[in-house]
Amino acid sequence: MRVNLAMSGCATVVVAMTSLTMSSAFAQGLISKKRLSAALAMEAVMEAVDVCKKAGYAVTAIVVDNEGVRQAVIRGDGATVHTLDSAYAKAYTAASLAPVRKDGSTKGLSERIAKTPGVSTAGLASLPNINFTPGGVTIMAGDEAIGGIGVGGAPGGNFDHDCAVAALDKIKDRMK
């Protein structure tokens, strides 16, 4: 009886070791992740704030990577404190939700929702940092979503959106 227990214990160890070895054989290893350089992210937020300033709007612009981590933040002169949260939520939504929905921006999301009767955003809107207001644009490197830029503070989301698009247009040739 004692020998059988010892043998079954050894068998268990052998099965466990085999399972660990097999599962690591299927593991992918490290993954590569694209994101804007710090200098390019700063250039984008500066451009967004400058474009809005020329139009008479005091805004905040934020760039996040595709996990929602802030890479660059500029609160323009005269931009009110709530614009920090607004711009972040728009950037976060553009980076995390818009690519999944194939909308490319919070403006695209809001337009699709408005045109689809009976669509409820209650579930998504209750998540932290989700904002369907225009002003967030997905940052693309080729066909890959690598982040988002959000602008908040203009007297309407469409103006925020235009400043974000202008910023990405300025740096698009360097996002390859």
DSSP readout, the chain? Answer: -HHHHHHHHHHHHHHHHHHHHHHHHH-----------HHHHHHHHHHHHHHHHHTT---EEEEEETT--EEEEEE-TT--THHHHHHHHHHHHHHHTHHHHT--BHHHHHHHHHHSTT---HHHHTSTT---SS-EEEEEETTEEEEEEEEE-SSSHHHHHHHHHHHHHHHGGG--
- Output the pTM of the full model: 0.81
Tens-level pLDDT at each residue, the chain (176 residues): 555 545 455 555 555 555 555 555 566 788 888 899 999 999 999 999 999 999 999 999 999 999 999 999 999 999 999 999 999 999 999 999 877 878 899 999 888 888 887 776 767 778 899 998 999 999 999 889 999 999 999 999 999 999 999 999 999 999 87
Would you state the pLDDT for residue 50? 98
Would you state the pLDDT for residue 3? 52
Q: Which of 93, 66, 90, 71 is nearest to 153 (CA)?
A: 90
Residues in the chain: 176
Q: Please state, in angstroms and rounded to a whole number, the distance separating the CA atoms of residues 136 and 105.
A: 5
CB contact burial 104-127 (16+ within 10 A = b; e otherwise): bbbbbbbeebeeeeeeeeeeeeee
Would you state the pLDDT for residue 154? 98
What domains can be seen in the chain, in order of their start residue? 38-174 (3.30.450.150)
Q: Please state, in angstroms and rounded to a whole number, the distance separating the CA atoms of residues 106 and 96.
A: 11
Would you state the pLDDT for residue 112? 84
Would you state the pLDDT for residue 46? 98
